[in-house]
Amino acid sequence: MIQKISQQPLAKRFDHLREVIASPRFLQMRGLNNDLPFYICEFKASEAFEIQRMRRQLVNTLAGLHVECLQGRGVKVLEINLYDLTIDMLKEREGSSEESSLWQEILAVEPEVEKEALQELLQNVLDIKGHLIPEIGKRLAQSDYDVLFLSGVGEVFPYIRSHNV
């Protein structure tokens, strides 16, 4: 029986990801019926630190490859961590007064509000269509990249659902 890639040792997963991401089929978006190619690398929460290290190593390895369909250069990876992005967005947004950011105000009320109310608050202020997607789009437009790594998905769940991004 063939094991799912997520059940393979980290070294095998690394090799598999490197091969898939550096493949001409993936990089040139061939055979996908005009869909955007994406790859979900699922892992257990207990593997988070190892996966983070592996992701950094993968970015460096991909950059050092000589990929024929990229005129012999390596794969340029843009990394966007949804958790870091949402915090940056909240810090940049003004709160109810000019002296405080929305982030500071959320931190102040967090101990006092119910979990569901906090989730709803975050979903509203980080509206995916109105705020998050435009911010991601801005970062994409400012970068020269071949592949996007979207991380921090588990950290922003449930107030951001990655399938909506």
Instruction: Express each pLDDT in 24-36 by its tens digit.
Output: 988 988 766 767 7
My answer on whether 109 and 143 are in the same domain is: yes
10 and 64 housed in the same domain: yes
Count structural domains, the chain. Answer: 2
Whether residue 110 sits in one domain with residue 29: no
Asked if 59 and 128 sit in the same domain, the reply is no
- Supply the pLDDT for residue 164: 63
CB 6 within 8 A of CB 43: yes
Which domain-ending residue is among 51, 75, 99?
Answer: 75
Rg of the chain over CA atoms, in angstroms? 19
Q: Are residues 110 and 37 in the same domain?
A: no
| Residue 65 clears pLDDT 60, i.e. is over it | yes
Give percent of the chain with pLDDT exceeding 90: 52
Tokens of 57: 């190593």
Range of the domain at 17: 1-75
Q: Do residues 35 and 113 both lie within one domain?
A: no
pLDDT digits (tens, 9 = 90+) for 79-90: 999 999 999 999
CA–CA gap between residue 88 and residue 153 (Å, rounded)? 15
Average pLDDT over residues 41-48: 87
Pick from 34-38, 47-51, 58-62, 113-117: least confident: 34-38
Residues 121 and 82 in one domain: yes
Q: Are 93 and 102 in contact (CB under 8 A)?
A: yes
User: Which pLDDT score, from 0 to 100, does residue 6 have?
Assistant: 76
Q: Tens digit of pLDDT for each residue in 109-159?
A: 999 999 899 888 888 888 888 889 999 999 999 999 999 999 988 888 777
* Residues 111 and 140 reside in one and the same domain: yes
Considering the domain architecture, whether residues 28 and 93 belong to the same structural domain is answered as: no
* Domain final residue, candidates 48, 75, 102: 75
Judged against a pLDDT cut of 90, whether residue 41 lies above it is answered with no
131 and 84 within one domain: yes
Evaluate if residue 160 carries a pLDDT over 80. no
Cα-based torsion angle of the residue sequence 96, 99, 100, 101 in order, rounded to the nearest 10 degrees: 90
Same domain membership, residue 93 and residue 40: no
Q: Quote the pLDDT of residue 93.
A: 87
- Both 110 and 66 in one domain: the answer is no
Q: What pLDDT is stored for residue 1 in this prediction?
A: 57
User: What pLDDT, on a 0 to 100 scale, did the predictor assign at position 63?
Assistant: 97
Of the candidates 42, 75, 108, which is a domain's last residue? 75
pLDDT confidence bin for 38, thresholds 50/70/90: confident
Helix spans in 32-132 (H): 48-64, 82-92, 102-109, 115-125
